[in-house]
Chain A
């Protein structure tokens, strides 16, 4: 499937999500000025689509997920005014954000909207996908935690999003739990049964973000997500400057300037002090299949209740928490602490 020849290089679109998934790694505290700088560097490197939102999407600023340093409106308007050719994208999770939040994004200048649901719940995205299409946005349906179900279920759910009008669909490995074979099965099923273009979003909890992204491209994905230095939830995302280099070597064209995306990554180094890495807890996220953004919340709960964060991750995984259920971390930690102090 892969066309490696110099002349027939296949195009892979890159969506940068440093300013959205990367928000998890900075506890949603990028300032407007920092966002403007980073977005400028990304545009300079010729990244075509730049996603800006709270880590949990528009309207995500909350106690449950962490308050952002600025409002959605301020972030979006500021970044939109600095971009001249790159398109501004937003993420929205129905149940957290609403059409009202999308209105703010449209007025601020967003051109692309990604509407994301848990992999089995695509039918809660209908009103949001329809609204974005009506507003003339490129609308991408996103399924999260796609490691939890098989290819048939994914095909069924993608069909729903397609029927609401989605232009493209993205599979997210939100827990960084997949190995390349899992990626291949899921994307191939979509390529075989549907005509809608497919994208893939990786997490690096098992050290496979680049490998899985490459596999996705090989089996037919036309769009991939990356973040500078891999900044993102859990152990981070596919490291964008690495992805650009790897895709080039593998015979794909991204249009992104390698040196300039490396410069952008260096700019990020000057802004972010703690970059995500595969520590023991984030490794366990991938191993147990737990939503990546639970990581920092788990550290906080472990500290408050004096517990081993690994125990919390394993128990949250056992209860099959889905994205957005950060509140379960407090509950699990409180129960474990009560059990510990109360003996049997």
Chain B
């Protein structure tokens, strides 16, 4: 079957893990090229891509321009600064950009919640790891009873927080809080991140507190949470409730504790925070690719062919 060609810019930890996810599991995407700015001798990600038989380049945006006619989707796993520079060029080339940096040029996408709303956009942003893990739960609670206040605490292993996250830790809390409101639906959101250096490294964990308008609907709220966890598990298999949700009736509060075990595609399994980002990005790419194939008439033809 014909697939949609994509390219990954930024062969760091995230880009490389994403490459493996697409390579191993994607139905609709084909990796046309992985692009960096350092030669393979200085880039483990490019070396791995090369070993997997993928075309590589290390000339940055030029490497995208060279193949722009052949691809439809570009994944940006560089930095916010780089994406702010590159985004207008991608637009000119007619590409859909899936942005894994904090640049947030386009709207926030959380696949389990709002992907269908944004299939017409040419630039979408994957929020933060904490956002991917917690926003869907707030959304699940909010669809039963209005969430007046949502607060999340993401604990991640020190080893899984790269220099970009560390230099701009405020970006994490501010972007996640915004997504709790904009995508999750909470009237007010607050986010906290804790880095824990324990050895062996801790598995990514998220605590989500929601203060709701009507806690008497607790049974429906819990059911909605369980349903949402199942939906997320379709694209993040390591996503699970750590303990049963705890209801504090006197405070109109429900507290949900989630752990995310990574799939270990490239990154270690404790780095669920990085896994959920690449898994969400891959799921988003997959949905865009499906839409593109339908527009090209490829998918319908396949279906028709099967029917015959």
Residues of A in contact with B (beta carbons under 8 Å apart): 62-64, 94-96, 98-100, 118, 120-121, 123-124, 126-127, 304, 319-322, 324-325, 327-328, 330-331, 334-335, 338
Contacts and interface: CB of A to CB of B under 8 A. Distances in A.
B193 interface: yes
Interface of B: 149, 151, 153, 155, 158, 163, 166-170, 172-174, 190, 192-198, 202, 205, 207, 209, 211, 242-244, 246, 248, 253, 255, 257
A327 B257 contact: yes
Given A95-B193, A95-B194, 17 more contacts: A62-B190, A64-B153, A96-B192, A99-B170, A100-B170, A118-B196, A123-B163, A127-B168, A127-B170, A304-B248, A320-B202, A321-B196, A325-B194, A325-B196, A330-B246, A330-B255, A330-B257
Contacts of B169: 94-95, 124, 127
A335 B244 CA distance: 9
A64 B151 contact: yes
B196 A322 contact: yes
B134 to A, nearest CB: 12
Nearest to B153: A327
B246 A334 contact: yes
A322 B257 contact: no
Nearest to B208: A327
Nearest to A122: B166
Contacts of A325: 153, 155, 194, 196
Contacts of A124: 166, 169, 195
B192 A334 contact: no
Contact of A319 (B193, B198, B207, B209): B198
A121 B197 contact: yes
Nearest to A323: B194
Nearest to B173: A98
A98 B198 CA distance: 24
B174 A98 contact: yes
A174 to B, nearest CB: 14
Given A121-B158, A124-B166, A334 B243 contact: yes
A122 to B, nearest CB: 10
A64 B192 contact: yes
16 contacts: A63-B149, A64-B207, A95-B192, A98-B174, A99-B170, A118-B196, A127-B170, A319-B198, A319-B202, A320-B202, A322-B194, A322-B195, A325-B153, A328-B155, A331-B205, A331-B257
Contacts of A63: 149, 151, 209, 211, 253
Contacts of B246: 330, 334
A324 B192 contact: yes
Contacts of A98: 170, 173-174
Q: Which 3 A-B pairs have the closest CB atoms?
A: A327-B207, A320-B198, A98-B170
Residue among A121, A126, A321 with max Cβ neighbours from chain B (10 Å): A121
Nearest to B259: A331
A320 B200 CA distance: 10
Contacts of A95: 169, 172-173, 192-195
Contacts of B158: 120-121
B214 to A, nearest CB: 18
A118 B195 contact: yes
Contacts of B174: 98, 100
Contacts of A99: 170
